[in-house]
Structure 1
Amino acid sequence: MITHVVFFKLKDRSTEAVQATANVLTNMEGKIDVLKYIEVGLDVLHSERSYDIALITKFDSLDDLKIYDNHPLHLEVKAHMKQVLDGTSVCVDFQS
């Protein structure tokens, strides 16, 4: 199994903006066959170094992660993220 973890820091860090983006991410659940698990977590500390959202997804293989990365719904999510991100996201992909 491959676990894909991404952290996002948003331009607008208000509760409403963070929740709206979390909803965009959560909307992928059940709509991409190769996406076996999804969890969206919202930061509770709100410190300057905190990221606002953590996305944890799981896939059966690296090939499935590549399929996900190019899935039309995920491409829509990435387009949304480009609009709301404060800089770039960071990620880690590992075998689990």
Structure 2
Amino acid sequence: MITHIVLFKLKDRSPESVERTAQVLRDMEGKIEELLSIEVGIDVLHSERSYDIALTTRFASMEALQAYQVHPVHQKVIEHMATARESSVSADYES
């Protein structure tokens, strides 16, 4: 199993903008066969080092993660995130 985690810091950090972007991520659920699970969390601390949104996804294999990366639904999310995010970091690991 591969776990893929991405943290997003948004340009517009208003609650409405954060929720709108979190919903864009949640909307992938059930639309990408390779995506075994998805969890989208919104930061509650709002500290200086906080990121606004955490995305945790799980895949059966590296091949499944690679298929997710190029899936049309995910590509639409990438388009949204390119305009909404200030920065992001990620980690991928076997679990």
Superposition TM-score, scaled by structure 1 size: 0.98
Q: Distance in 2 between matches of 1:78 and 1:89?
A: 12
RMSD of aligned residue pairs (Cα, Å): 0.5
Q: Secondary structure at the match of 2:63?
A: helix
Identity %: 59
Q: 2: CA distance between counterparts of 1:49 and 1:3?
A: 23
Aligned-residue offset at 1:33: 0.1
Unpaired segments ≥5 residues, structure 1: none
Aligned match of 2:27: 27
More strand by share: 2
> Where has structure 1 moved over 4 Å in runs of 4 or more?
none
Aligned to 1:90: 89
CA deviation after TM superposition for structure 1 residue 47, in Å: 1.0
Q: Give the TM-score, by structure 2 length.
A: 0.99
Q: How does 1:5-84 map to 2 (within 5 A)?
A: 5-84=5-84
Q: In the comparison of the two structures, how many residue pairs are matched?
A: 95
